[in-house]
Structure 1
Amino acid sequence: MEPQDFGNDLHKLLLQALQAQDRDHLLRIFKEYPNQSLDSAAKFLEAKEHIHDLAALDCMATALTHGGSIPAGYQYAATSLLWGITLWSSQVTLPEADLEFYLANSSYLIQKALLDTGNFAEGISQYETLRTMNLPGWGKPIFYSTHLQAAENYFENNRSDEAVLILQSLDENQILPASLILYDRLKSKIGLINSKTFQSSEEIASQKRMQQLTDLKRMLAAIRTVMKGYEDQMDMDSIEKLVEMYEGEGDISEQELLELTHKISAKTLETQSVMGGVDNTQTPQYKRNLLTQSTAFFHDDKLGHEEDRLRNCLLELKGFYKWFEERKLESDLAFIAYCQYICYNRLEEFQKAADSLDVVFGHLEKQRASISNIHERAGVFGQYPALFGAMALTNYMSRNTRRLFHRIEASKGRNLTDKVLEATGEHQRLDDPDTLIDRLVPLLSANQAHYLSVIVDFDRSYSVLLTKQGKLFATAQGAGEEVLKDWVKNDFPNPQSWKMPVSGLFGRGKSVEIPKELGKYLDPINFAIDENLLDEGDHIVYSPDGLLNLFTLQIGQLNSGKPLIAEFSVSKIHSGSQLVKLLDKSPENLDEIIGITCSAVQDDADKVKEFEEVPLFLLPEEEGIGAEEEVSIENVLEALGPNKLFHFSTHGVFPSGVKGLDLKKLNPYFNSGLLLMSDGKKPELDSEFDYYLGQNLLSPKILQESHVNLNGSHISMQACVSGRAMEGYGGDALGLEWAFFYCGAQSMLSAAWNVDITWANKLFKAFYTNWIHQEFDMKTAHRQAVLQLMNEAPQDNMPVEYYWGGLSLIGDFR
Structure 2
Amino acid sequence: MFTNKAIIYFTFEGRTMYIKDKYDIATVVKLFQSGDFVAQKTYILSACPPSSMRNQVLNYINPDRILTSLTLLADTYCRGIDCQLGITLGQTSYQLSQKAFETTSAKIHRLKDTNKAIEHTKELQDLEDWLALIRNNAANSAVSCAVGFQSLGQHRKSIKFVTKAIQWLKAKEYYRAVEWFKSHGYNDAIDTTLTLTLKMIESYIELAKYDKAIALIDQTNWNPLFTEECFEAYLVERQIIQALIQKLMERIQQSIILPPESIKDKEAIITFHEQILNTVKSIGESFYPEDLALFQIIEIELKQKIIDVPESISIAEWGKRMQSTMDRITDFISGGGKEFNQLQNQKRIRNATAIFLDSKTGHNPEGINQSVPILIQARDWAREHNFREDENDALWSLYLCYSRTQQEAQAIEVLQALRKNLEEMRQSISHPMKRAGILRKFPNLFGDLCQLLCRSNRAIELLDAIEGAKGRVLADVLTEKLNQPTSEKELSEPSQQIPFLMQEVNAHYLSYFVDDEATYAVLVTKDGSLHTQEIVIGKKQIQEWLDYKKIEDHDPLDPRNWGKTISKRQQKNVINLSESLAPLVSWLEPLATSGIIQQNDHICYCPDEELHLIPLHYLPFRGKPLVNYVSLSRIQGALALVNILKRESLKPNEFTVVQVWANEDVCQDDSEKKQQESKIMIAAFNQPGEWLNEQLTGEIVSETNADLPTVAKLNLSQRIVHFANHGDFPSLMEQEHSKKNPYLNSGLLLAKNGQLPPSSKISDEAGLLSPQQVLKKKLDFRGSHVTLQACVSGRAKEGIGGDALGLEWAFLLNGASSSLASHWNVHAAWAAKFSIKFYQKWLVEKASRAVAWRETVLELMGESAQPYYWAAFSLSGDWR
**Residue 271, structure 1, aligned to residue 324, structure 2:** no
Question: Equivalents in 2 of 1:651, 1:305: separation in Å?
Answer: 55
- Name 1:452's counterpart in structure 2: 510
SS of corresponding position for 1:739? helix
Change (3 A) 1:516 1:486: same
Question: Equivalents in 2 of 1:624, 1:136: separation in Å?
Answer: 68
**Residue 793, structure 1, aligned to residue 859, structure 2:** no
Question: Equivalents in 1 of 2:200, 2:508: separation in Å?
Answer: 52
- Name 2:840's counterpart in structure 1: 769
Work out which of the residue numbers 144, 153, 175 in structure 1 matches 2:197: 144
SS of corresponding position for 1:755? coil
SS of corresponding position for 2:782? coil
Q: Is the 8 A contact 1:178 1:226 kept in 2?
A: no
**Residue 642, structure 1, aligned to residue 704, structure 2:** no
Shift of 1:673: 0.8
Question: Equivalents in 1 of 2:585, 2:276: separation in Å?
Answer: 52
Work out which of the residue numbers 592, 601, 624 in structure 2 matches 1:538: 601
- Name 2:415's counterpart in structure 1: 357
Q: Is the 8 A contact 1:417 1:578 kept in 2?
A: no
Matches within 5 A, 1:47-446: 138-141=191-194, 144-145=197-198, 175-177=216-218, 223=280, 225=282, 232=296, 234-235=298-299, 255=316, 258=319, 262=323, 265-272=326-333, 276=335, 279-280=338-339, 282-373=340-431, 376-417=434-475, 419=477, 435-446=493-504
Structure 1 residues 41-61: Cα deviation after superposition (integer angstroms, max 9, x where no partner): xxxxxxxxxxxxxxxxxxxxx
Structure 1 residues 101-134: Cα deviation after superposition (integer angstroms, max 9, x where no partner): xxx9xx9xxxxxxxxxxxxxxxxxxxxxx9x979
- Name 2:648's counterpart in structure 1: 586
Question: Equivalents in 1 of 2:812, 2:785: separation in Å?
Answer: 10
Q: Is the 8 A contact 1:242 1:260 kept in 2?
A: no
**Residue 810, structure 1, aligned to residue 871, structure 2:** no
Question: Equivalents in 2 of 1:299, 1:440: separation in Å?
Answer: 43
Shift of 1:567: 1.0
Q: Is the 8 A contact 2:661 2:757 kept in 1?
A: yes
Change (3 A) 1:259 1:620: farther
Shift of 1:773: 1.3
Shift of 1:172: 7.7
Code of the residue aligned with 1:359 in structure 2: it is A
Code of the residue aligned with 1:492 in structure 2: it is P
- Name 2:162's counterpart in structure 1: none
Change (3 A) 1:408 1:242: farther
Q: Is the 8 A contact 1:464 1:472 kept in 2?
A: yes
Shift of 1:256: 7.3
**Structure 1 gaps, min length 5:** 1-88, 90-95, 108-129, 152-162, 191-212, 246-251, 795-799
Structure 1 residues 34-93: Cα deviation after superposition (integer angstroms, max 9, x where no partner): xxxxxxxxxxxxxxxxxxxxxxxxxxxxxxxxxxxxxxxxxxxxxxxxxxxxxxx9xxxx
Code of the residue aligned with 2:361 in structure 1: it is L
**Residue 672, structure 1, aligned to residue 746, structure 2:** yes
Question: Equivalents in 1 of 2:214, 2:767: separation in Å?
Answer: 40
Question: Equivalents in 2 of 1:550, 1:470: separation in Å?
Answer: 29
Question: Equivalents in 1 of 2:249, 2:806: separation in Å?
Answer: 28
Code of the residue aligned with 1:449 in structure 2: it is A
**Residue 721, structure 1, aligned to residue 796, structure 2:** no
Identity of aligned residues (%): 28
Q: Is the 8 A contact 1:454 1:463 kept in 2?
A: yes
Question: Equivalents in 1 of 2:558, 2:758: separation in Å?
Answer: 23
Shift of 1:385: 0.7
Shift of 1:359: 0.9
Structure 1 residues 156-211: Cα deviation after superposition (integer angstroms, max 9, x where no partner): xxxxxxx99xx9xxx98994337899659769999xxxxxxxxxxxxxxxxxxxxx
Question: Equivalents in 1 of 2:522, 2:464: separation in Å?
Answer: 10
**Residue 487, structure 1, aligned to residue 528, structure 2:** no
Change (3 A) 1:525 1:584: farther
Question: Equivalents in 2 of 1:711, 1:358: separation in Å?
Answer: 36
Shift of 1:497: 2.1
Structure 1 stretch 394-403 or stretch 587-596: which is displaced more?
A: 587-596
Q: Give the CA RMSD over aligned residues.
A: 4.3
Work out which of the residue numbers 511, 517, 521 in structure 2 matches 1:463: 521
Structure 1 residues 730-764: Cα deviation after superposition (integer angstroms, max 9, x where no partner): 10111111211222222110001111222212211
Question: Equivalents in 1 of 2:656, 2:315: separation in Å?
Answer: 55
- Name 2:820's counterpart in structure 1: 749
- Name 2:564's counterpart in structure 1: 500
Shift of 1:344: 2.0
**Normalised by the size of structure 2, how large is the TM-score?**
0.64
Shift of 1:396: 1.1
Shift of 1:334: 2.1
Shift of 1:495: 1.1
SS of corresponding position for 1:379? helix
SS of corresponding position for 2:722? strand
**Normalised by the size of structure 1, how large is the TM-score?**
0.69
**Residue 779, structure 1, aligned to residue 840, structure 2:** no
SS of corresponding position for 1:451? strand
**Residue 706, structure 1, aligned to residue 747, structure 2:** no
Structure number with higher relative contact order (C-alpha < 8 Å, ≥ 6 residues apart): 1
**Residue 618, structure 1, aligned to residue 692, structure 2:** yes
Q: Is the 8 A contact 1:540 1:568 kept in 2?
A: yes
Question: Equivalents in 1 of 2:735, 2:743: separation in Å?
Answer: 16
- Name 1:26's counterpart in structure 2: none
Shift of 1:712: 1.2
Code of the residue aligned with 1:546 in structure 2: it is E
Matches within 5 A, 1:5-16: none
Q: Is the 8 A contact 1:653 1:721 kept in 2?
A: yes
Question: Equivalents in 2 of 1:254, 1:402: separation in Å?
Answer: 41
Structure 1 residues 352-403: Cα deviation after superposition (integer angstroms, max 9, x where no partner): 2111210101101111111245565211222211111011111112221221
Change (3 A) 1:176 1:569: same
Question: Equivalents in 1 of 2:720, 2:466: separation in Å?
Answer: 33
Shift of 1:232: 3.2
Structure 1 residues 542-569: Cα deviation after superposition (integer angstroms, max 9, x where no partner): 11111111111111221x1122211111
Change (3 A) 1:754 1:175: same
- Name 1:72's counterpart in structure 2: none
Code of the residue aligned with 1:651 in structure 2: it is H
Number of aligned residue pairs: give it. 634
Shift of 1:655: 0.9
- Name 1:528's counterpart in structure 2: 591
Code of the residue aligned with 2:875 in structure 1: it is L
Question: Equivalents in 1 of 2:613, 2:318: separation in Å?
Answer: 35
